[in-house]
Structure 1
Amino acid sequence: MVGAGRTAESNEMYAMCILRYLEYCDNELVDRRDRFPAHPDIVRRFLTRIALLGNGIGAYSVSHFRRFRTALEFWHTTHGLRMNYDPKMWTMQLAAAAATAPAPKPERLAATLDDLRCLAAGIDKCSSFDTAVFAAACAAFFAMARLGEFTADSADKELIAERHLAVANARRIDATSKAPLRYELDLPFDK
């Protein structure tokens, strides 16, 4: 019942964290009786390993690092167990995780009209693929949208009409004396 109040994403994240903890215990040959309830020294070593993955450079952000401990606490709570973990040790480990956490990605420069012109100059206008790429870039630029709203993650994934621009939803507007032939597309639902 306790888990019912959590989102599916939270449950997946917690399951991944518990899986990592169990993998750590397997690799370190931790006795099964010492895994749950988790002994404070084992939790400390596990969290230290998580904080220092990648040659002393953290592989996780501090918020992600916190999730590992929260997942362990949640597991204990749902099973009616108490996790005895020293708050001072947690504070020190959080500081270590913050010091070794990867830097956030630098902000990218915004796309400009010159970028679109450069893209237009480099495409094969007879290629339907190149034309579609340019159309998606233009639509994303002028709609001030994220490119992910206009493209699928991979060729295997299906575009969802409510979330992505779709050719099937394009409306042809014939040319008039005041305007050339054009197509209109509906923007995704969250724009």
Structure 2
Amino acid sequence: MREAAAAGSWHSNGSPPQVRETAGATRPYEPIRVPSDESCGPSSYRPSVLASERVLLWTTPHGVTFQNQLEQLYPESYVVKLFFVMAESLDERTRNDYGAGLLHFNQFCDRLSISEQDRMPASEVLLSIFIADAAGSISSSTANNWLAGLRFWHVINGAQWHGERSECLRHVQRGLRLLAPPNLNLQHPPITLESLIQLHQGLDYSNTFDTVVLAIACLIFWCGCRLEELVIPTFDSFDMTKHVTRSILPIVTQESNNVRHSTFRIPWTKTTGNNGADINVTSRDHLTCPHAALFRHLEANPNIPFHAPLFSFQTPTGAWTSMTEQWFLKRCNQFWGP
């Protein structure tokens, strides 16, 4: 009865209340389907949205009650701004990571038939069992991300967080760290010039995917970029305010003393935030020249719209898709992996 009453304030199509929709993050150009293995059981509290939007648009009976109380006390525009500003305290990648944790938590609750009311506030025991269930299959950093996402989800829904001083949860986290498979805790050695040469020699430059991989790797090595500054984390996390697009083209090349150099701007960096930065690409007398690698990519992938991420590539069917961090790392690890 309590759950039905809480759900009554939601739209008939199962979508979240207008307040949260209004406060929601920027949507992608086209709707993205959530794969079946990345969804929970049907619930009006958990609409099918991007991973990065779950912390805002997924809720519980407790969260609905909290929102209704806010709307009774304050004008709707102020409540909208509250949710918007809280969500904006996290960058896109963090929201995406937190969304993954919410997915796993609710899938876990579905398996155990945990009621919607008992999912928030989540009890100390529920949190501990959830993390213990994943022991042996995830790293401690992943567990910490899941818990951080759950904590933020509680905060934005006005719920008490029972994981703060939980001795039970603390010991579970310690045990999980000791039980993590060794390969999850390996520290990757730094990428050296020899590693970059190995990658260059192994890639197939008749393949548009590989031309993108080399361009990214050379820019990271020679120009001091970070991977997350050049490449989208996942397909559903593209953000035009953060990720560089092909709208910066054409990139102008200048030459001085037989050295070619170009500059392009990225809208976001880890150190400057939304102030962005200029990336200076200078040619080098080396087979891993970043300038040559960048322009090889652009020449191999010409027919891609300007709104697409800069490091998108054409597929054999004539369509295009965007490079993701996972794809890039997987390809590199085919040469660098143990």
Segments of 4+ moved more than 6 angstroms:
156-159
- Asked if 1:69 is matched to 2:147, the reply is yes
Judging changes above 3 Å, is the alpha-carbon distance between structure 1 residues 160 and 11 closer, same or farther for their aligned structure 2 residues?
Answer: closer
Which residue is equivalent to 1:4? 85
Could you state the TM-score of these two structures normalised by the residue count of structure 2?
Answer: 0.38
Judging changes above 3 Å, is the alpha-carbon distance between structure 1 residues 171 and 128 closer, same or farther for their aligned structure 2 residues?
Answer: farther
Judging changes above 3 Å, is the alpha-carbon distance between structure 1 residues 80 and 141 closer, same or farther for their aligned structure 2 residues?
Answer: closer
User: Matched residue of 2:132: which SS?
Assistant: helix
In the alignment, the residues of structure 2 paired with residue 49 and residue 106 of structure 1 have an alpha-carbon distance, to the nearest angstrom, of 27
In the alignment, the residues of structure 2 paired with residue 186 and residue 4 of structure 1 have an alpha-carbon distance, to the nearest angstrom, of 33
Matches within 5 A, 1:3-82: 4-5=85-86, 6-9=89-92, 10-50=94-134, 52=135, 56=136, 58-60=137-139, 62-82=140-160
Q: CA deviation at 1:95?
A: 1.1
User: Matched residue of 2:121: which SS?
Assistant: coil
Matches within 5 A, 1:1-191: 1=82, 4-5=85-86, 6-9=89-92, 10-50=94-134, 52=135, 56=136, 58-60=137-139, 62-85=140-163, 87-101=166-180, 102-112=184-194, 115=197, 119=201, 136=215, 140=219, 143-145=222-224, 160=245, 168-171=250-253, 173=255, 183-186=260-263, 189-190=278-279
The structure that has the greater radius of gyration is 1
Judging changes above 3 Å, is the alpha-carbon distance between structure 1 residues 162 and 148 closer, same or farther for their aligned structure 2 residues?
Answer: farther
In the alignment, the residues of structure 1 paired with residue 204 and residue 117 of structure 2 have an alpha-carbon distance, to the nearest angstrom, of 63
Q: Which runs of 5+ in 1 are unaligned?
A: none
User: Matched residue of 1:169: which SS?
Assistant: coil
In the alignment, the residues of structure 2 paired with residue 88 and residue 15 of structure 1 have an alpha-carbon distance, to the nearest angstrom, of 25
Judging changes above 3 Å, is the alpha-carbon distance between structure 1 residues 161 and 49 closer, same or farther for their aligned structure 2 residues?
Answer: same
> 1:41-87 CA distances to partner (integer Å, 9 max, x unpaired)?
2221111123x1xxx2x423x33312322332333333333233452
In the alignment, the residues of structure 1 paired with residue 179 and residue 189 of structure 2 have an alpha-carbon distance, to the nearest angstrom, of 20
- Letter matched to residue 155 of structure 2: T
In the alignment, the residues of structure 2 paired with residue 35 and residue 95 of structure 1 have an alpha-carbon distance, to the nearest angstrom, of 23
Q: Which runs of 5+ in 2 are unaligned?
A: 1-81, 266-277, 281-338
Q: CA deviation at 1:148?
A: 5.6
Which residue is equivalent to 2:303? none
> 1:149-171 CA distances to partner (integer Å, 9 max, x unpaired)?
9x877xx99973588xx6x3243
Q: Between the two proteins, what is the percent identity of the paired residues?
A: 14
CA contact (8 A) 1:171 1:185 kept: yes
- Root-mean-square deviation over aligned CA pairs: 4.6
CA contact (8 A) 1:136 1:147 kept: no
Could you state the TM-score of these two structures normalised by the residue count of structure 1?
Answer: 0.59
